[in-house]
Amino acid sequence: MKISKKTIFAILFIVSLVIVFFVWRKFDPQTGTRSLTFTSNGLSHFRKGLDVSWGTKLVYKISYDKYEKVYTNSSELTAIKKTIEDIIMKNIDNRISKLGVSDYKSYVQNLDNQNYIVVEIWGIADLDQAKELIGKTLELEFKLQNPEQPTKTSIAARKALANQVLAEIKTDPENIQKTLEGRMSENIYHTIFTGNSLDQLPDLYKKNKKLLDSAEIGKIYWLIEGNYTTIYQQSEDGLTQGTGIALDGYTMFRVLDKAQGKDMSGNTVDFYAIEDVFVQDRETWIPATDGETILNGAYFKFANSSASEMGEPVVVINLDDKGKEVFCNITEANIGKPMAIFVWGNLLTAPNIQSKICWGTAEINGWFTTESAKQLSDALNEWTLPAPLILMQEEKISPSLGDDSLSGALQAGLIGLIAIQVLMYCMYGRKKMLLTAVVLISFIAILFAFMKLTDYALSLSGIAVIILSIWMWVDANILMYERLREELKEGKSMAWAIDHAKERSWPAIRDGQISTGLIAFVLFSMGTNVFKGFGSMLIVTMLITLFFNVPLTKILLHMFYDPKKSN
């Protein structure tokens, strides 16, 4: 039994209406996916883009500074960056899905030869919550002792870094600790001395008592260069041994408070509260590498709390297969030397390597309690990223702004539809106006059903494409109507005129739509996210126009003017 085209189009239209009015995609916070389900109010459950909904858009830059110091070969660095981006994207998706938001999208965007991580979250207006969730970085670093002595060049670079740190803390002097959080691995130290006498302060302050006494409360002072203090090792009886390790570098400080009081001997002395930042003139630790690959959080698999051979709580870090190989090579080449593990930029442990370790686990023993060991392992599993994220742009879309944008776009579309119907009536009369309305309603039903099935996010650019495509489709109808008028003027029968009007107008309609489709493809394949959305919707509307609207118009022309040949 042969099914007529009219029946096929009718079934397609009815199915589309069912999908539009009774189907929606429900978000599952457990899996982070959206699945089709039935509802009695499907018309209000279209997925909306950020510009017509409400939520948050965050743009992050990935800091590759530590990698660029090690990987001088551009092809190697490019490959490492790609690996890091993939890991970060997967990690961000996992983080957002756990939040249970209604919808989100994350992608890599290239601007000025720099890749940025863009995250758009719908249904969450709390910008601070979104930033805390996505941008939190726990950096896991493995480092070896730096065997090189400071040079004039390296010291100059460290002084430049100290100047940069000074500029950073001066911009927000009340949040110095937050500004410098996680930078101990760069030999940048932040300390607050509370109620210390001069004898209890580092050597630098003992040598600069006049500056300390004349300092204004709260003012940041720069720059004291030279020896900060000297660290001496102690024997079991508490006596110092050896010549000590001199910490030289650059110090900036501010006096928080100062007052006189009695020391342990009853003498009147000055007591100081000081906030202190020290930038050492060298990096004592360098990234652990086997000559080709840096060992860091990129190869982290999972962490778990356990107990050492002595029964003390420890955190065990497990590496993936690649990390296991790199760790084995590094430990084999550095037996007898210390390897430090930094988390959040803080040194947790630095044991000497006794032998090569090829089973892919590293143990952190930092005087943990059972609870603190579990807390660290949980944090490692949840927040570890191979490189820090720097927030470059944040944008909050309010519900009112999204609603205004959507209602404005819909009003513009409605005005356009009314204008089309008036135009059709004035040019071709009532029947063709009704015919145009039927095709238009069918076009919108099929397009909206497609959006539901593919989970397309309706944005302002998408609405603009829909309005534009309707006018392009009307242009195709006008071509058919004009051809039909010409055929009828030549005295052809209605059935013959309709068939030939479609055939003769088809090349012009096809070429016009295809040329538009080529532009849409370029936008989709080469543009930014906004252009991709515009281009993809334009391609869809082009295909619907060619393979649904034009054939349906021909069928309806026969139904309206030549019922005997309506199949």
Residue with more model confidence, 335 or 230: 335
Mean pLDDT over residues 77-81, rounded? 83
In three-state secondary structure terms, 132 is: helix
Enclosing H/E stretch for 342: strand 339-343
Per-residue pLDDT at 19 exceeds 60: yes
Cβ distance 82 to 298 under 8 Å?
no
pLDDT-derived band at 39, boundaries 50, 70, 90: confident
- Which pair of tokens denotes residue 456? 């397309």
- pLDDT for the residue numbered 402: 57
Least confident of 32-41, 262-271, 409-418, 457-466: 32-41
Per-residue pLDDT at 110 exceeds 70: yes
Cβ distance 38 to 20 under 8 Å?
no
Looking at domain 398-565, its CATH architecture is: Up-down Bundle (1.20)
Per-residue pLDDT at 456 exceeds 90: no
* Bridge partners of residue 190, in order along the sequence: 277
Least confident of 31-45, 211-225, 266-280, 317-331: 31-45
Enclosing H/E stretch for 565: none
Mean pLDDT over residues 115-121, rounded? 85
Cβ distance 368 to 307 under 8 Å?
no
- Which pair of tokens denotes residue 353? 């390597």
The beta-carbon contacts of 263-271 under 8 Å, at least 24 apart in sequence, are 263/197, 269/197, 269/198, 270/197, 270/198, 270/213, 271/195, 271/196, 271/197
Mean pLDDT over residues 295-303, rounded? 83
Residue with more model confidence, 95 or 217: 217
Instruction: Quickly list DSSP for 438-500.
Output: HHHHHHHHHHHHHHHHHTPPB-HHHHHHHHHHHHHHHHHHHHHHHHHHHHHHTT--HHHHHHH
Q: Residue type for 507, please?
A: P
Residue with more model confidence, 145 or 531: 145
CA-CA-CA-CA torsion for 89, 94, 100, 101, nearest 10 degrees? 0
- Which pair of tokens denotes residue 516? 């538009």
- pLDDT for the residue numbered 63: 84
In three-state secondary structure terms, 154 is: helix
* Helix runs in 334-385, H state only: 370-383
Nearest to 217 by CA among 164, 173, 266, 187: 173
C-alpha–C-alpha distance, residues 538 and 256, integer Å: 63
C-alpha–C-alpha distance, residues 79 and 67, integer Å: 11
pLDDT-derived band at 328, boundaries 50, 70, 90: very high
- pLDDT for the residue numbered 275: 92
- pLDDT for the residue numbered 212: 86
DSSP 185: G
Q: Which of 249-253, 372-376, 467-471, 530-534 has the highest mean pLDDT?
A: 249-253
* Bridge partners of residue 114, in order along the sequence: 111
Q: Do domains 55-137+390-395 and 398-565 have the same CATH topology?
A: no
Q: Residue type for 23, please?
A: V
C-alpha–C-alpha distance, residues 553 and 432, integer Å: 10
Per-residue pLDDT at 266 exceeds 60: yes
pLDDT-derived band at 97, boundaries 50, 70, 90: low
**Helix and strand totals (H; E) in the chain:** 16, 18
Neighbour count for residue 243 (Cβ, 10 Å): 9
- Which pair of tokens denotes residue 226? 């030279």
Mean pLDDT over residues 492-515, rounded? 87
- pLDDT for the residue numbered 405: 66
- pLDDT for the residue numbered 243: 53
- pLDDT for the residue numbered 182: 79
Neighbour count for residue 501 (Cβ, 10 Å): 24
In three-state secondary structure terms, 155 is: helix
Per-residue pLDDT at 290 exceeds 70: yes
C-alpha–C-alpha distance, residues 444 and 428, integer Å: 22
Per-residue pLDDT at 101 exceeds 70: no
pLDDT-derived band at 458, boundaries 50, 70, 90: confident
Residue 411's alpha-carbon distances to 50, 58, 405, in angstroms, are: 19, 30, 10
- pLDDT for the residue numbered 33: 61
pLDDT in tens, 214-253: 888 988 887 678 888 887 655 444 444 445 678 899 999 9
Q: Whole-angstrom distance between the N-terminal and C-terminal Cα of the chain? A: 14
Residue-range domain boundaries for the chain: 55-137+390-395, 152-283, 287-386, 398-565
Neighbour count for residue 545 (Cβ, 10 Å): 25
Looking at domain 55-137+390-395, its CATH architecture is: 2-Layer Sandwich (3.30)
Mean pLDDT over residues 422-439, rounded? 87
C-alpha–C-alpha distance, residues 507 and 422, integer Å: 27
- pLDDT for the residue numbered 75: 83
C-alpha–C-alpha distance, residues 209 and 214, integer Å: 9
Per-residue pLDDT at 351 exceeds 60: yes
DSSP 409: H
* Helix runs in 247-314, H state only: none
- pLDDT for the residue numbered 390: 84
Least confident of 10-24, 116-130, 411-425: 116-130
Give the strand pairing for 138-145 and 384-385: parallel
Average pLDDT score, the chain = 82
Instruction: Quickly list DSSP for 33-82.
Output: EEEEEE-S-GGG---B-TTTS-EEEEEEEE--HHHHHH--SHHHHHHHHH
Cβ distance 480 to 549 under 8 Å?
no
Nearest to 438 by CA among 319, 548, 347, 543: 548
C-alpha–C-alpha distance, residues 91 and 385, integer Å: 8
Enter the CATH code of domain 287-386: 3.30.1360.200
